[in-house]
Amino acid sequence: THVGHPCRLAARVDTFIQLTLNGLTLGSVYALIALGYSLVYGILKLLNFAHGDVFMVGSFIGFGVLQLLGGSTDPVVPIWLLLVAITLAAMAGCAVLGVAIERFAYRPLRDAPRIAPLISALGVSFFLAYSMQLLFGAEQRDYDAFSMDDGALFFKGFDIGNVRVPLLRIIIIVAAFVLMALLWVLATRTRTGKAMQATSYDREAAAMMGIDIDRVIVFAFVLGSALAGAAGVLFALRAPTFPSIGFLAGLKGFTAAVIGGIGSIPGAMAGGLILGFAEAYTQGYISTKWSDLLVFVILILFMLFRPQGLLGKADIRKV
């Protein structure tokens, strides 16, 4: 019995470490999606419900480039270059898609009643999801990251207790945090970032001060969509992707943005991580059936008791 107690304790610690690692990986991806929602909402006060499907398109672009470069089993370039290439391709492709969505679906409705761009956003979401399904079929696509560099991404890494931390998870978490840090610097330290902040506080006043509002809005879509593309690749490295994945991923990204305070960049990061941990711990300690339910229960509780989110402010609009 005395031997059993330490063994059980060690097993519980290992489980906790594994779930924390899962939560950090998942939360990093949710945070990247949430940042796109926050960027667009902060400037346009528009909930871009097509954002989750941009994430899905990013995962498919990454898959296509992966196949062009020889696939995961026999890539024609070194593994690090392969990962960089598929991520940059997804970011570039989604940035172009984001510009197209803003130009044709949202800009004509900028001064329309608030419900019009919302309906347009839902229409774009369905258009992207069903277009991808018609073009590529509904079956799952797997990056087969286990085969990359003969499994090095899974087998290399380090151990915390009895838990293996694969190199792939380290890459996903570090890449997500680097992208978030770059966005934070861009939004707070650059001239364009300050123009975005000014536009979010008062669009008309910013225009009178000589800020090109259209350019700022397009830039917000470019940034948000590029981050969604990167999130799509990082997610698909550890789980299969398929055309309908964008809807649920988008809802969770939106939930993360609301939890953190929609319009707040640090809030989106915090909300994504909170959501990732909540989902991982629920799956590990209760049941996988309950994880999605808990996510939306958290959303409802925040909407009821703190609608401005953790770092948002009800009276001040932020970017």
Distance CA 159, CA 283 (A): 22
According to the model, what pLDDT value does residue 295 have?
A: 87
According to the model, what pLDDT value does residue 197 have?
A: 86
Cα 305 to chain center, whole Å? 25
Distance CA 32, CA 269 (A): 7
The class (CATH top level) of 4-305 is: mainly alpha
pLDDT tens-digit map of 38-89: 998 888 888 888 999 999 999 999 999 999 998 888 888 888 899 999 999 9
According to the model, what pLDDT value does residue 203 have?
A: 84
According to the model, what pLDDT value does residue 318 have?
A: 46
According to the model, what pLDDT value does residue 5 have?
A: 66
Contact criterion met (CB below 8 Å) for 267 and 260: yes
Torsion angle defined by CA atoms of residues 272, 278, 281 and 287, in that order, rounded to the nearest 10 degrees: -120
- C-alpha distances (whole Å) from 16 to each of 9, 20, 158, 161 are 11, 6, 17, 11
According to the model, what pLDDT value does residue 264 have?
A: 84
According to the model, what pLDDT value does residue 178 have?
A: 93
According to the model, what pLDDT value does residue 218 have?
A: 93
E strand spans, 84-220: 157-160, 163-166
Q: Which residues of the chain have pLDDT under 50?
A: 1-2, 316-319
Tokens of 312: 């948002």
